[in-house]
Amino acid sequence: MILADVHNHTIISHGEATAAQMYEAAQARGLRWYGFSEHSPLPPGYACPLYHGDLAGDFPRYVEEALRLKSAGSPRVLLGMELDWIPSHMPYMRELAARWPFDYVIGGLHFLGSLAVGSPGNWNQGESEEERHARFAAYYREMKAMARSGLMNIVAHPDFIKVRCPESFHAWLDRPGSLELIRETLCAMREGGVALEVSSAGLRKEFAEPYPAPAIMRLAAEEGVNISFGSDAHSTADVAFAFDHLAAYARSFGYARSVVFQARQPFHLPF
């Protein structure tokens, strides 16, 4: 049984429920640890049209609500943040990560330069397959840099870039050199003590595949990379979503423990 869900969002960003409502859902699921990991405010020049209101202005309230819930009992609450990796704004990212007493920081790779990876308009029929493959390679080069930055404890949904084009992504995985690039990225994670998120969010997509895909999970297991479980919940119904499936998935690659961070220090939980 998976005991911890460390990737969750609230109405402060583009979730549908308050922190208290999400916590009640975690109690109902029987979790022992529950991590809030709200999206970080974006720097000037970047935006997410899905966000409600003023994330920068509302973020301190999210921190206050999560810290208040730390005294609620079981599950134990962890304060986290999903920090957007935007390397052109390193001082901004460092300041955000240091401003509040986070138990952990999840690295979210949602942008390649100014290109929003999750935007459907950026994955139309206008680009060639070669252009897509070049984006996939650039994505993992950025992920390797993110893992080496010292800012992150966990890498979120490690193949999120497949979200709008899963067939193209799997075709790229089969190309010579692709898995070696991903292996280099995973080695950087292991060396930096950064965990790989195994996420059930992909099971809620049309392609119905966890993040990351089996080929990447296999490499992670071979390289001894720690894993962390998350639902990427944006509603109470998503909390600990399909965790039985996720546990079986991880076990099929030889995993028996996941990692949780408290005060930025890792400890392991059996599942």
Domain boundaries, the chain: 4-270
Give alpha helix (H) positions in 75-128.
90-99
Give alpha helix (H) positions in 149-177.
166-173
Give alpha helix (H) positions in 79-120.
90-99
Cβ-proximal residues to 261 (8 Å cutoff; 6+ apart), any chain: 6, 78, 80, 103, 104, 153, 154, 195, 267
Report d(CA 204, CA 210) in Å as an integer: 9
pLDDT of residue 124: 84
Q: Is 41 helix (H, G, I), strand (E, B) or coil?
A: coil
pLDDT of residue 125: 74
User: Which amino acid does the sequence have at 228?
Assistant: S
Copy the structure tokens of residue 22: 């999400």
**8 Å CB contact between 3 and 243:** no
Report the half-sphere exposure of 98 (CA within 13 A, side-chain side).
7
Q: Is 216 helix (H, G, I), strand (E, B) or coil?
A: helix
CATH top-level class of 4-270? alpha beta
Report d(CA 91, CA 71) in Å as an integer: 32
Alpha-carbon distances, residue 224 vs 153, 180, 189 (angstroms): 16, 15, 10
Alpha-carbon distances, residue 167 vs 1, 132, 171, 205 (angstroms): 32, 11, 6, 13
Segments of 134-226 assigned E as strands: 154-155, 195-199
Alpha-carbon distances, residue 161 vs 133, 148, 166 (angstroms): 11, 20, 8
Copy the structure tokens of residue 270: 């059996």
Shortest CA distance to 38 belongs to which of 1, 84, 76, 75? 84
Grouped pLDDT means (10 residues each) for the chain, 271 residues: 98 97 98 98 94 95 98 96 98 98 98 94 87 97 98 98 97 98 98 98 98 98 98 98 98 98 97 97
Residue 228, beta-bridge partner list? 197
pLDDT of residue 53: 87
Alpha-carbon distances, residue 226 vs 35, 36, 162, 171 (angstroms): 17, 20, 22, 26
